[in-house]
Chains A and B, each alone.
Chain A
Amino acid sequence: MIKVRSIKRTSVLLSLFTLIMFGFGYALVPLYDVFCEVTGLNGKTGRIYNEEAKQLITDNQRLVTIHFDSNINGNLAWKLKADQKFLKVNPGKFYSVTYTVENMINEEIVGQAIPSVSPQIASLYLKKSECFCFRNQVLKPGEQKKLTVRFELDRDLPKGVESLTLSYTFFKAVKDNKKIS
């Protein structure tokens, strides 16, 4: 009466399903990255490359305020300061701003800056052609450095956005960097 064959079949199928769901947990990671990249949801900024940059037209009618913010993650003995608190910009035009970073201790440290834009809806419209966050930064003991960001604000920036904040946080660099924009 007891159907040993079909019991085995059911258990094997269910075990397979378990493995699939385990894999699905991992699959959520790239899915999430893609989702965020497309929607700009986690505040990561956009990029702009030379070809595109040449065709920019400035919108002189509109003035948007960008605030610059800087943070240091807990375990990094650096100081980071934006050299200007804010800037009023015309969409479609390139601007450069600088940050000053200083290593406070007697040790060479590699750091990595992570950008974030608020409100998130604006993040993909802030397009950078050059940024110190594109690569690791090395600071010698006590060294002070000027770091540059070059960006433009896209003309398609939604109408309601009057001001936005660009924030950088420096972390101690980890070995296995994923692509950072």
Chain B
Amino acid sequence: MYLVFSLIMFFIGGSMAMIIRAELFQPGLQFVDPQFYNSMVTVHALVMIFGAVMPAGVGLANWMIPIMIGAPDMALPRMNNMSFWIMPFAFALLLSTLFMDGGGPAGGWTMYPPLVLQTGKAFPFLIFAVHFLGISSIMGAINIIATVFNMRAPGMTLMRMPLFVWTWVITAFLLIASLPVLAGAVTMLLTDKYFGTSFFSAAGGGDPVLFQHIFWFFGHPEVYILALPAFGIISQIIPTFARKPLFGYASMVYATASIAILSFFVWAHHMFTVGLPINGELFFMYATMLIAVPTGVKVFNWIATMWKGAMTFEAPMLFALAFVVLFTIGGFSGLMLGITPVDFQYHDTYFVVAHFHYVLLTGAIFALMASAYYWLPKWTGNMYDEKLGKIHFWASAISANVLFFPQHFLGLAGMPRRIPDYSVQFADFNMISSLGGFAYGISQLLFVYIVVKCVLGGKKATGQVWDGARGLEWTLSSPPPYHSFSKPPKVTKALMEY
């Protein structure tokens, strides 16, 4: 359910991205008016973050965590149900704003005041949609932690849990710690607009910059909420296809935890240009650089896992490898942005757009695609079409790079983000980028076809599916029974390692 919903949202958000790229295909205004363009940018971001990547992550967690730790089901099935059904309503609220007077929210997904306060009738809908999505995610997170802490099979010690479970536990804590802060911030926006409070209004002695501090206190952990489950997925897939145990399991766990903790101390690197004092700039710069260390540990562990492994390259592995390479590129451009003096030039340019799309699209989304191929045989009992899967991978990987790589150059040359028009010297790269965008959009339709085909039938999959796969989920039949492990399995060290 979660996964289907997030796939639908992926296409809704994706079609908005298509509108954006169509408008940017050539300089000048062609298809949409600037206000609508801005609302596309805003809603695309909200839909993709809260509608596609997060529910997909929660969906995977709901499906995989119980069978990975040997539990019959999630700890709180009813809460699970609620947290899912809130989402369609929240998105109905959000998307309905596009048809209202004054249009949808157009101030950017970051909702900075005072601009966001100028939103028309859409404003309260935006706020309540964010509230609902926050509640939904928090309930999902509570459920995950309750499940993992209380329902592990005997012998499944914390340090024997699959890494996907570990990353999700840590992500869940991030969700619980950061989303309420966002809820508070948007509530302050709401009362500022309708009840005369002055949290962010300079006229009443408030400070708009305060919103940015509160928002990014949520916003940076949010980045890792999107990325950590992807790390977990990759840490499952690479050992399977390298046919070697994951290198440095314990260091992976600690690296994940330290990324999560550090993420609460780097928020102001999103706001180097608001006029922070020099000491603040330095602190946040060094703290940001520090995150590269645990992230680097992870990348090296993945590479070391593959070292001298007997590798095969099925679709999940291809996506995982592309993840490692392209996420690292996104990480490097993130480091560049983290350098304060350099950031003053890059701030709010297409360089930033390229950076976070490398991290989120070729990072988080590629990992989700990898996980879909990896576990589809387990879910459906049928093998997917390997040949089409490979075509989908190459089409996605090439078009995504054609789409986003030129945006680095655009950003360095000074093209600002969130503007529907640009001056003519940016025309060539924008055209290349748009073509890549359309190609990427079309190639995702292939993914839908592959999934549908796999659900309907195909070569029967064995319980083991991949011969290098280790972990409890592969001891079950494919597809697994509705209530797996009613009798808890006995977990030994040998079962979890290769």
Contacts and interface: CB of A to CB of B under 8 A. Distances in A.
Interface of A: 1-3, 6-7, 10-11, 14-15, 17-26, 28-29, 32, 36, 39, 41-42, 73, 112, 114, 120-121, 169, 171-180
Interface stretch (B85-93, B142-150, B334-342, B428-436): B142-150
B176 A14 contact: yes
Interface in B136-191: 138, 141-143, 145-146, 149-151, 176-185, 188
Contacts of A180: 205
Given A10-B75, A17-B176, A18-B138, 20 more contacts: A6-B150, A7-B75, A10-B142, A10-B146, A10-B149, A18-B180, A20-B180, A21-B176, A21-B179, A22-B180, A25-B217, A26-B188, A29-B188, A41-B276, A73-B203, A114-B205, A171-B201, A171-B202, A174-B196, A174-B201
B202 A114 contact: yes
Interface majority SS (helix, strand, loop, mixed), chain A: helix
The residue in B180, B210, B213 that gathers the most chain A C-beta atoms within 10 A of its C-beta is: B180
B197 interface: yes
Interface in B251-279: 275-277
A88 to B, nearest CB: 26
Contact of B207 (A11, A17, A42): A42
Given A7-B146, A174-B196, A178-B204, A22 B76 contact: no
B494 to A, nearest CB: 23
Interface string B198-214: 11011111110110011
Contacts of A7: 75-76, 146, 150-151
A6 B138 CA distance: 19
Contacts, number: 118
Interface of B is mostly: helix
A22 B181 contact: yes
B441 interface: no
A10 B150 contact: yes
Contacts of A11: 75-76, 79, 142-143, 146
Contacts of A42: 207, 209
Given A10-B145, A120-B275, A26 B196 contact: no
B142 A14 contact: yes
B178 to A, nearest CB: 7
10 contacts: A14-B142, A14-B176, A18-B138, A21-B179, A28-B210, A29-B199, A36-B207, A42-B209, A112-B204, A114-B202
Given A10-B146, A15-B142, A120-B277, A178 B151 contact: no
A173 B202 CA distance: 10
Nearest to B195: A176
A162 to B, nearest CB: 18
B488 interface: yes
Given A6-B150, A112-B203, A32 B210 contact: yes
A172 B204 CA distance: 9
Contacts of B146: 7, 10-11, 14
Contacts of A173: 203
Interface of B: 72, 75-76, 79, 138, 141-143, 145-146, 149-151, 176-185, 188, 196-199, 201-207, 209-210, 213-214, 217, 275-277, 488
A41 B276 CA distance: 8
Contacts of A32: 207, 210, 213
A2 B151 contact: yes
Contact of A25 (B79, B185, B204): B185
Contact of A28 (B149, B206, B213): B213
B181 A21 contact: yes
A3 B146 CA distance: 10
Contact of B204 (A14, A28, A36, A174): A174
B76 A174 contact: no
Contacts of A24: 180-181, 184
Contacts of A114: 202-203, 205
Given A11-B146, A42-B209, A172-B203, A21 B178 contact: yes
A80 to B, nearest CB: 14
A172 B213 CA distance: 25
Contacts of B142: 10-11, 14-15, 18
A178 B205 contact: yes
Given A29-B210, A39-B277, A176 B180 contact: no
A17 B185 CA distance: 17
Contacts of A25: 180-185, 214, 217
Contacts of A172: 203
A101 to B, nearest CB: 15
A175 B196 contact: yes
B254 to A, nearest CB: 22
A14 B180 CA distance: 12
B198 A177 contact: yes
A28 B214 CA distance: 7
A53 to B, nearest CB: 25
A1 B488 contact: yes
Contact of B184 (A22, A41, A73): A22
Contacts of B203: 73, 112, 114, 171-174
Contacts of A14: 141-142, 145-146, 176
Given A21-B180, A25-B185, A121 B207 contact: no
Contact of A179 (B205, B210, B217): B205
A19 B150 contact: no
Nearest to B275: A120
A177 B488 contact: no
Nearest to A73: B203
In this complex, which of A11, A36, A42 has the most chain B Cβ atoms within 10 angstroms of its Cβ? Answer: A11
